[in-house]
Amino acid sequence: MTALVRYRVWCLSWDDEEEYGSDVVGYDICTPYPEAERDVVFVPSTMLADARDAAEAYADYAHDNRDGYECTWPLVFRVRCLDGTTCDFEVDRDFATEFNAVEIKPRAPKAADASKTTEQVP
Tell me the whole-structure pTM to 2 decimals: 0.71
Hey, which bits of the chain come out as E strands?
A: 5-11, 22-27, 40-44, 75-80, 86-91
Per-residue pLDDT of the chain (122 residues; tens, 9 = 90+): 355 789 999 999 999 899 999 999 998 888 776 777 778 999 998 899 999 999 999 999 888 878 777 888 899 999 999 899 999 999 998 877 577 778 788 888 877 655 565 555 55
Q: Which residues of 50-71 are buried (b: 16+ CB within 10 A; e: fewer)?
A: ebebbbbbbbebbbeebebeee
